Structure 1
C-alpha cells in the first residue's frame, strides 16, 4: 500500500484502514500479533507516533488489544466488527453518493438497480 500524503485523510487513519483490510483479507487472523508501531513506521516511512496513533484507533474500537510487553493482537471478533463498521459507514456513504448523483442525472431507481446488477454480473463472470 502507498499512503496518500496529499489527500485529506490523515496518515494514521490510512494506517488503521490498511490494517483493517489486512484483517479482512485474512493476512492477519484473530489473536495474531499485528505490526508494531516501529514496523509500520519503517514499512511506510512515517513517524512511529503516527503509526501508534493508527494502532490506538483500532485499540479504541476493540479491533486489536494490547498484551503488555508483547504488542498488539487482533481481537477474536475483529472481522465481524470491521464488516459491520464498513457496511454502516463506508458502504452507506458510497450508496448515498451514488443515489444523489443518479437523481441529479435523472436516472430512475429501476435504471440504477439494473446498473448495479450489470456490474455485479460482470464481476461474477
Structure 2
C-alpha cells in the first residue's frame, strides 16, 4: 500500500487518517484489533516509530485502546467520534474556504448551491 506522496501532512498523521478511513468504511469495527506498528511499517515502508505515532494519535483521541501485550483495538464509539471530528473540524473548514472563494469569484448563493448539488450527484 502507498500513502499519497503529494500530501503536505506528516506521515504519522496520514497513517492515523488512513486508519480512521478504515474504521469509517467498516473494515474495522468495535473491539477489532488493528494493525500493529510493525505491520503498518511494513505495509507503508515507514519507520515503526512513525507508525506508532499514528496509532498513538488515535489512542489519545479514544478511537483506539491498548490491551497490554495484545495490541490496539477499536473503541465502541470510534466511528461516531471520527465522523463528529471530521464534520466539526474538516468539513466546516472546507465549507468556510469554499464560501470565501465563492465570494471572491462573485459566485452567488444559488449558483454555489447548484454546484454543490451537481457535485453530490457526481456531475461536473
Q: TM-score, normalised by structure 1?
A: 0.93
Corresponding position of 2:86: 86
Q: 1:1-125 to 2 correspondence within 5 Å?
A: 1-5=1-5, 7-120=7-120, 122-123=121-122
Give the Cα separation in 2 of the matches to 1:59 and 1:42: 21
SS of the aligned residue for 1:66 comes to: strand
Q: How big is the shift at 1:5?
A: 4.6
1:5–1:11 CA contact under 8 A, matched in 2? no
Query: Per-residue displacement from partner, 1:39-94 (whole Å, max 9, x unpaired)?
Result: 00000000000000000000000000000110000000000000000001111111
Secondary structure at the aligned position of 1:73 is classed as strand
Aligned-residue CA RMSD (Å): 1.5
SS in 2 for 1:118: helix
Q: Deviations over 1:3-24 (max 9, x none)?
A: 2455320000000000000000
SS in 2 for 1:29: coil
